[in-house]
Structure 1
Amino acid sequence: MPDTAVVTGAARGIGRAIATRLTREGWQVVVADLDAAELQSVADETGALAVPGDTSTDAGVRHLVDTAYDHLGHVDVFFANAGIGTLKGLDASDDEWARTLETNVLAHVRAARHLVPRWLDAGGGRLVVTASAAGLLTMLGDAPYSVSKHAAVSFAEWLSATYRHRGIVVQAICPQGVQTRMLDGSGPLKDLLTLDATLTADEVADAAWQALATDAFYVLPHPEVSGYYEQRAAHPDAWLAGMNRLQQKLDHQAQTSTTPTSTPTSTPTQENA
C-alpha cells in the first residue's frame, strides 16, 4: 500500500477530509490550497505539511511537487482535488472561463507533466482526480464548471490509456451533491444537486480511500451516477430532453421566486469540486 500523498484544495471540504483520512491511516501527507490560514489549521490537526499556493499555475504546481519530494522523498499518490465553479452560463466572462479551466483542467495537466516522468523512473504512481458527476453528465446552471469537469475526466482517461501499462494508475472521483461550502453557495441549483442523497465530505474520502486498493478508473460515491451515465450513453436524446425539463423547472422557479438570490462567481479560493 502506498504511504505518501499530496492533496490539493485541502483547506476544507473533500480535500480536507481526504487529507485527514490519509493521516489517520498513518500516511505522510502534503496539503495545498490558496487559503493559507485554513490550510495551516488542517496541517496542525493532521500533522501534514502545508504548502500554500496556486496550483492552477505551472509555477505553483512545480513548487508543490518539488517541495513534496523534498519533504517526503517520494510521492505515491497525488490527489488533484482543487476546483472552482461560477454558477454562470453564457454570461460567464472570458476571465471566469479561463480561471475555471486553469483550476479544473490545466492544473491536472501541469501536475501530470511534473509527476509522470518521476513516476516512470520510479516504476509507478497514482493520480486521483476529483472530477464530478458533472463530468459524466452535465451541470445545469454552470457552463464553465460542466465543461471543465468533462475535460478533467477526458484528460484522466487519456492518461490512463497512455500510461497504465507502465505502472501509472489514474482514477476519477465523480460525486454528486456533497455537503461542502460549494454546495451551500450553489443558490437556486441546490435543490437540483440534492435530488439524490447528499454525502458528507468524510463519506467521499472513505470512497477515495477504498479506491486506493483497486485500479478502478471511476470512483462513484453516489452509485446512482452509474445508472445515469448508462442512460445518457444509451439514449442521449431522451437524456437531454430530461435535463431540459429540469432546466425548465429551474426557469419557472426563478420567474416565480419573490426572494432575490445572489449568484456567486468563481473566486481565487481553490474550493473542492
Structure 2
Amino acid sequence: MPVWNKGVVVTGAGHGIGRALATRLAAGGARVVVNDLDAEAAIRVAEELGGFAAPGDAASEQGVAALVEAARGHLGSIDIWFGNAGIDRGHGLWAAEEDWAATHEVNVMAHVRAARLLIPGWVERGSGRFVVTASAAGLLTMIGSAAYSVSKHACLAFAEWLSATYRHRGVVVQAICPQGVQTRMLDNAAPLQELLSHDAALTPEDVAEATWQALHDDRFLVLPHPQVADYYTHRALDTDRWLNAMNKLQRRLEDQGALR
C-alpha cells in the first residue's frame, strides 16, 4: 500500500518502536501525527521528521477523542492509525489492581476507543487501516507478566475481530508481534532479557522496516521475528507440549532467582 500523502497517526511515538514507525512512514511520504504521553519527546520526534506533534493520553475516552480531533484538524482525514502505545506494569498473579486496570486501559481499551471513532468513517468511504502493536506475547505468552500477557492477547483478539468484521468494507487490520526489541521496556525487564532476546533482540528500526513491508501486502500478522510463526503453530498443534515447555522455562528462571 503506498503511503504517499496519507494521513497517519502513531501513538507512543516519542520513543522506541513508535518513533521508528513514525520515522519510516514519514520517509515513505506519509503525513505523520506523532503522539506520546511524553510531550517533549513527541515534539522532538515531530520536529525531526517534519510531522505534527499531538502529545497526550491515547488511552482514555477523552484522550483518544482529543487525539483524533487534533489529528483530523491537521490532516483533514486519518487514513492509517498505529495504536502502538503500550505499558507493562505489575508482575505475576499478585500485580496490584491498579496495575491490571492501567494495563487493560492502555493495551486494550485504547484500541477499542480509537476504532469506535475511526471505523464508521472508513466504512463509509470504503478504506482505512488500523494497526496495533500486539507483541509476540499476544500470540504466545510472557513468562512472569500476567497483566501484560492477558492484555496483549485481548489486543490481538480485538484486532482479529475488527478484521473479520470489516475487511469486506475496505478496512485493513494488522497486528505487529515482535519478541524482544531494544527499547526501554526490554531494558526494564532485567530478569527476562535473556529469554526475550532468545531469537535476537531487534532494533526498533528493524520492526519498523518489517511493518513497512507488510503494509504492501496487507498481511494480518506482522512478524519481525519469523520464528514466532513456528512457535505459534506448535502452540496450536500441541498445546500441552507447548505449555510444558513454557513451564520448564518458568522453573529454570525460578531456579536462577529471576522469578518468584
Give the shorter-chain TM-score range: over 0.9
Counterpart contact for 1:139–1:145, Cα < 8 Å? yes
Whether the 8 Å contact between 2:13 and 2:85 is mirrored in structure 1 is: yes
Asked whether 1:92 is paired with 2:95, we answer yes
Code of the aligned partner of 2:240? D
Identify the match of residue 74 of structure 1 among 53, 56, 77: 77
Out of 226-235 and 86-95, give the one that drifted further: 86-95
1:25 has 2:50 as partner: no
Q: Which amino acid aligns with 1:9?
A: G
1:127 is paired with a residue whose SS is strand
CA distance in 1, matches of 2:60, 2:50: 26
Q: Partners in 2 of 1:87 and 1:214 — Cα distance?
A: 37
Structure 1: stretches of 5+ with no match in the other structure: 258-262, 264-273
Cross-structure match for 1:159? 162
TM-score (norm 2): 0.96
Deviation of the 1:77 alpha carbon: 0.6
Q: TM-score, normalised by structure 1?
A: 0.92
Deviation at 1:144, TM superposition (A): 0.3
| Aligned-partner residue type, residue 167 of structure 1 | G
Give the root-mean-square deviation of aligned CA atoms: 1.3
What is the CA distance between 1:102 and its match in structure 2?
0.3
Distance change >3 Å, CA 87–CA 246, structure 1 → 2 = farther
Correspondence 1:35 to 2:77: no
Give how far 1:120 is off. Answer: 1.3
User: In the alignment, is the contact (CA less than 8 A) between 1:87 and 1:186 conserved in 2?
Assistant: no
Contact 1:134 1:150 (C-alpha < 8 Å) held by counterparts: yes
Extract structure 1 runs of 4+ deviating beyond 6 A: none
Aligned residue identity for 1:159: L
TM-aligned CA deviation for residue 181 of structure 1: 0.7
How do residues 67-216 of structure 1 correspond to structure 2 at under 5 angstroms? 67-216=70-219
Percent of residue pairs identical: 59
Q: CA–CA distance in 1 between the matches of 2:47 and 2:254?
A: 45
Task: Kindly indicate whether the alpha-carbon contact (under 8 Å) linking 2:22 and 2:32 is maintained by their aligned counterparts in 1.
Answer: yes
CA contact (8 A) 2:90 2:99 kept: no
Matched residue, 1:254: 257
SS at match of 1:33: coil
Task: Please give the alpha-carbon distance, in whole angstroms, between the structure 1 residues aligned to 2:60 and 2:145.
Answer: 23
Q: Cα deviations across residues 212-252 of structure 1 (Å, max 9, x unaligned)?
A: 11121100000000000000000000000000000001101
Q: Is the 8 A contact 2:176 2:221 kept in 1?
A: yes
Aligned-residue offset at 1:48: 1.0
| Residues 137, 229 of structure 1: 8 Å contact kept | yes
1:221 aligns with 2:224: yes
Unaligned stretches of 5+ residues in structure 2 = none
Give me the whole-angstrom Cα distance separating, in 1, the residues matched to 2:126 and 2:71.
Answer: 18
Q: Tell me the number of residue pairs that the alignment of Structure 1 and Structure 2 aligns.
A: 257
Q: CA deviation at 1:91?
A: 1.7
Letter in 2 for 1:165: H
